[in-house]
Structure 1
Amino acid sequence: MNIQILKKFLSANVFSINNKSRTNLYLNSFSFIITSLSIIFVVLILSVNEGFKKTVNNVIVDLNGQYKILNKLNGYLTDDDESILLSILPENSILSKVSTKDLIAKNKSFSEPVNVIAFSNSNDFIHDLQGILLEGSISDSDIIIGKILSEKLNVSVGSTLTLINIESNNIENIELIKVGGIFKSNIPAYDTYRIYGNRVLFKNFINENYDYFLTNEDFKSSLLNNKYLIKNIFQINDDLFKWLNAYDFPIKMLVFFIMLICIFNILQNNLLYISYYKNDFFILKTLGLNNIYIYFIILLRSFFVLFLSSIVGFSFAYILLNIEQKINLINLPDYVYFTNSIPIHIDYMLPVYIFPLLLIIMSIISLYFYNSFIKKYEF
């Protein structure tokens, strides 16, 4: 008799139709579906959130390099400084020498302010421009401009732009330069104002020295003497990353509340189950089983529902993520999320973190709820 009753509580009765009522099946199925959906949403939210942060990080680093080296006295850097820094950096390190200049770009009746990024050699330029190039090619003989800027100026690959330097309300220099490529970074400020090109093309606008160096090599700033200042890209774009972190906390709170909904859904289903089978619990009590043993049976049922829901939820979530990552079914608006497709970072270790956490939280909460319920029915 004892074995038969225990089998009834620990068997697949969780999802089976019994003679008493079909209602139990519907409640169990509903609980299973809600728990599975909760886990799916948790995995999707965490994967997209992490993917978004990594996408922003990668775009910023690709377009700016990891580290920016400046003259601490706000002066220019020279080729001698390059030799000093290369002696500090690991062998075969790339150090991009960059000059910048704010100019006016003009095509026919259209004109826009632009920020010129002049490099010494396209092969040694740390920026990953090839990865964001829409049209044309990168060379030392032509410039590349942002997509928004090309639309505002009504130019395409092969067009000629007029660059104008204005100092103290006077036109100092004018240069005609051919557009060799158009890029799209999904960062509005870059695609609207930036122009990249070899410094030879801008010789009438810049001097022979450099405003700063860029590198992706990590080295200790203590190796630099008092002449140099090194900043990583995250310090330079501090406001952007503060904005990202500001959104990160509410998203994690949303995930936490979804997990609570998942747990309370299982607990509520079991409370209904206890109420529905209270007579059977009285029989268990009559057979000499104490409240701890009854609590263990109910908790084991909760674990069983959570385990099955987790298998379905995690599997379905990873299938959806892989499909979206390969096919890009969902397109995002331009210049809103730094990417045209949903950014995804698939972490297959999430079940290792999420499932034990759900078990721990559910065990703690159920200890109070089930004890109160068992005492109510005086099991």
Structure 2
Amino acid sequence: MYKPIYIFIGLRYLWNSYLTNFKKIITVLSIIGVSFGISSIIITISLFNGFQNEFKKNILSFIPHLIITNQNYYINELDFPKSILMSKNIQKISSFISSKVLIENKKNISISEIISFKEKNYYPYNIKNILYTLNSKENNIIIGKKLAEKLNIHINDLIKLISFPRNKKNFLINKMNEKTFKVTGFFDTKNKVDNYQILMNSKIALNFLNYHKNYITGWRIWLKDPFDYYINLSKKTKQHLVFLNWQLKEGELFKAIQIEKYIMLLFLILILLIVTFNIAITLTVNMVEKQNIIAILQTQGLCRKKMMLIFITLGLSNVIIGNVLGTLISFILIYEERFLNKLINIFFDNIDITIEIYPFQVFVVNIIFILISMLSTLYPIWNITKSTPSKILSNE
């Protein structure tokens, strides 16, 4: 005798040679529905992972995730909030000097931003071969390539920089400081800072901006996970400090990412609901058709618990087979990235997508699918098996 009997009967109900063509088509369509649902969820999550990683790599790897300063953007280095170092999410900290300036060159004038780092953290700018020109003895600067193109500036050109007073209250009383600098090179980061930033030696910057010794604009902080920012850290530090995170600076872009997350969540919920209804309807049709057999099995001594396990086996078989097929389909499409790019470019022109798949996410999605699908089978199973055999067979 086959043991356990409920698994044997459940698998026989799923597929056997005596099933009619219509029932076979219903079973196949049910499995295809589950596989398409799981594959679309995995591909969508992988696309979002790829977008998020590209965003971190191209934008968040360059701009600071958090800036600590005060309301005047002029702070003593000794006032650094050491309590923030207790956070495990801190990756790198760098002090900096920065200020808005007017840049004047012959017929052109524009607003720019000078920036300097005491620790010489200029590696994101890719200026190793010309970094030596930013020495403390000469008034040399390196400017963004796009800024140079906009103002028609060339290497070795002399340009005038005009700094604004730090104290905005006495803006008209305080004099502006102006000085002539020599352009020794350009940086090209493929980032928007190329449009407005100017690199300068820290000692030259301190002198030009009339900063006192040991005073800086603030600290730039990079986090291990920029999306996991704990804003309440400011409550543990001195109250006069100001915390500016990247979400404020890149507000519109951050809102777009948040909206995309909510749309993806809604999309996943809709797919789960469709698959759940699909399984519930398929299982209900199967049980209504087999209610006479259910009554006969109960009269032969098969308890209600095992009767429920038969149809749980039937429902889970659909889901597990669909999950395996859906996961395989999604893996094939993801690893064949060119095919997926071509498929997307049918609807959207010139879009190069990046896909990142994480096995843990795939495992969690499969488990959630199986659990929700199993829950969707419980009510129809309980409803059909609660009837007594005498009541079912009395209609025959």
Please indicate, yes or no, whether the TM-score normalized by the shorter chain is above 0.5: yes
Q: Deviations over 1:302-361 (max 9, x none)?
A: 11121122223234434544554xx8974999xxxxxx8535453322244333433333
- Equivalence map 1:126-145=2 (5 Å): 129-130=124-125, 139=131, 141=133, 143-145=142-144
Q: Deviations over 1:129-157 (max 9, x none)?
A: 25xx6x9966253525266x56656789x
Aligned to 1:182: 188
Aligned to 2:138: none
In structure 2, how many angstroms separate the alpha carbons of the residues matched to 1:124 and 1:144?
A: 16
Aligned residues: 350
Please give the secondary structure, in 2, of the residue aligned with 1:349: helix
Aligned to 1:364: 375
From 271, 286, 295, the counterpart of 1:258: 271
TM-score calculated relative to the size of structure 1: 0.69
Aligned-pair identity (%): 21
Structure 2 residues without counterparts, runs of 5 or longer: 86-91, 134-140, 165-171, 225-229, 346-350
- Equivalence map 1:225-374=2 (5 Å): 229-231=241-243, 233-234=245-246, 236-237=248-249, 239-240=251-252, 241-277=254-290, 280-289=293-302, 291-322=304-335, 324=337, 330=341, 342-372=353-383
Residues 184 and 56 (structure 1 numbering): CA distance in 2 closer, same or farther, change over 3 Å? same
Aligned to 2:74: 76
In structure 1, how many angstroms separate the alpha carbons of the residues matched to 2:114 and 2:275?
A: 52
Asked whether the 8 Å contact 1:67–1:214 carries over to 2, the reply is yes
Asked whether the 8 Å contact 2:144–2:197 carries over to 1, the reply is yes
Q: CA deviation at 1:44?
A: 2.3
Asked whether the 8 Å contact 2:283–2:380 carries over to 1, the reply is no
Residues 4 and 129 (structure 1 numbering): CA distance in 2 closer, same or farther, change over 3 Å? closer
Residues 307 and 112 (structure 1 numbering): CA distance in 2 closer, same or farther, change over 3 Å? farther
Q: CA deviation at 1:96?
A: 2.6
Matched AA of 2:21: R
In structure 2, how many angstroms separate the alpha carbons of the residues matched to 1:39 and 1:171?
A: 63
Matched AA of 1:257: L
Residues 299 and 114 (structure 1 numbering): CA distance in 2 closer, same or farther, change over 3 Å? farther
Q: CA deviation at 1:36?
A: 1.2
Q: CA deviation at 1:33?
A: 1.8
In structure 2, how many angstroms separate the alpha carbons of the residues matched to 1:5 and 1:222?
A: 63
In structure 1, how many angstroms separate the alpha carbons of the residues matched to 2:158 and 2:22?
A: 74
Aligned to 2:41: 42
Asked whether the 8 Å contact 1:146–1:193 carries over to 2, the reply is no
Aligned to 2:112: 115
Residues 323 and 144 (structure 1 numbering): CA distance in 2 closer, same or farther, change over 3 Å? farther
Structure 1 residues without counterparts, runs of 5 or longer: 334-339
Larger Rg: 2
In structure 1, how many angstroms separate the alpha carbons of the residues matched to 2:326 and 2:293?
A: 32
Ranked by relative contact order (alpha carbons within 8 Å, sequence separation 6 or more), the top structure is 2
Aligned to 2:102: 103
- Equivalence map 1:159-178=2 (5 Å): 162=159, 165=162, 175-178=181-184
Matched AA of 2:35: S
Aligned to 2:136: none
Aligned to 1:124: 120
Q: Deviations over 1:173-198 (max 9, x none)?
A: 5545244321113xxx5454444454
Asked whether the 8 Å contact 2:333–2:340 carries over to 1, the reply is no
Q: CA deviation at 1:283?
A: 4.0
RMSD value, Cα: 4.8
Asked whether the 8 Å contact 2:11–2:317 carries over to 1, the reply is no
Asked whether the 8 Å contact 2:101–2:114 carries over to 1, the reply is no
